[in-house]
Every structure is written in structure tokens, then in C-alpha cells.
Structure 1
Amino acid sequence: MATELLIAIPEHKVSLRDNGRESQTDVFALIKSNNRTVAVAVEGKVNESFGPTIKDWYVDPSARKQQRLAFLCDLIDVACPPPDDLHYQLFHRTASAVLEAARFKTDDAAMIIHSFSQDYKWFDA
């Protein structure tokens, strides 16, 4: 069972199909494993947070925010609105992996968080 890195692109931006800001993954990779191709969004963290929670990001949401969150939740198959304590960044990073999987016609999508924190900072997120 060999796994092969096909390509890795640092600071890869993915349009979330609206006129809003793109999602930028630290590394986007295409890998081949067990005769399947996987689109992978990798987010690297040391001490920085995952940004605002859904509760903080979604305060008095504009129509644009409502539309974006509904799109993200639908794309990754979670109830909308999602739990307040989850981080918005994790939603759009996961969605970017799914969108790129569709664009590159891969078999699977994955979002991986690579923590470099020796103190397990933000591990609970």
C-alpha cells in the first residue's frame, strides 16, 4: 500500500463560489493511495488560533454570510447553522478540499490539521 505525493501547492487559494474572500490553505496536495486520488487541504498551526467561532463570526449575519454558511454546511453535509463553538475557518478549509476534489475529479477529499504546538494549543478545536 504505497502512498505517493503527486503535487503540493503552498498557500493555495480556493474560491468559495461567491464574491467573498477565498479560502487559503497552507498546503494543497494531490496524493495517490490505494489506487485512489485524494485532494488534501493541510492547515499548519503552532500557536495561532483557528479564528472566530461560528457564534462570533455569525453575529447579526448579513445575507451574504447566511448564504455562504448555508453553502459550506450543505457542501460538507452538516446542519446549518452548525454548533456555535466550532471555528468558521475549519468549515471553509474543509469545503475547499471538497471543492478542489470536484475540480480535479479526485476520488476523495481530506482536510488535515498539522499542529506544531508542543503544548497542544488549540487541540480541542
Structure 2
Amino acid sequence: MDSILQSPFCNASLLAGLLFLFMGYMIRRYPPRSMKTWYGYRTFSSTINQDTWNEGNRYAAYISRWLGWLLVPFGILMGLVFRRQSELFLYLTVTPVIVGALLLAGFTEWHLLQVFDEDGLPRNKNGGNQKPAV
């Protein structure tokens, strides 16, 4: 068991990439229907109303899968390049995971700001708010 954990193929980029792929697939396949579910993309912007919740989770699942497809090959490459785990190996495999998590949140929040205003109302194509139907 120790040899598996000490192998360079047991690295943060590969494991987190697989987790990102799994999370993205599961949220896409089984989207959280309500904000009360135990899983989903949960931030202030995504929990304003049901529309922001649905869009935030849809987009976060897309970005999560995209990041997973980048992290998995990078983790495999790091396993091939390094013979053993070292401090440099640790930095090179953990840093992309941290950057990926920040990109996931950043891109999703930016997307929500482009689609909805601060009150959770949809923006029209000109950047203003759509008037609610009476």
C-alpha cells in the first residue's frame, strides 16, 4: 500500500482532475433541484433565486468537466516525468488544483454576473434588466 501512495502517479492533479470530472458529470446528469440539497454550486450569487441556482450549477458543471480534462493528463504527465515524489513535485501537482478551483469559482461567478443582475433578474442583450411580465 505504501508504494501506491508514494508513487508519482498518486498526485493531486490526477486525483483532483478525476474528482472534477466526476462532480461535473454528476451535477450535469443529476442537477440539484433545490437550494436545500446537500450538493451543488453554492455561493451568494447562485442562491439568490431558483434561476440563478440552476444556471450556476449548469455552468459550474461545465467548467468542472473542462478543468478535469486538463488536470487528468497533466497529472499523468507529472507521473511520467518524476521518478519519485519530491517538494517540487508537490508544488507542481497541487498548484494547478488550487488554480483550477479558483477558476471554477471565478468563471462561474463572472458568468452569473453576465446573465443576471445583482437582484437575480435576467439581463437583456443590451445589458439592462428585462421588465417582469405583469
TM class, shorter-chain normalised? under 0.3
- With structure 2 as the length reference, what TM-score do the two structures score? 0.25
- Structure in which a larger fraction of residues adopt strand: 1
- Structure in which a larger fraction of residues adopt helix: 2
- With structure 1 as the length reference, what TM-score do the two structures score? 0.26
Rg comparison, structure with higher value: 2
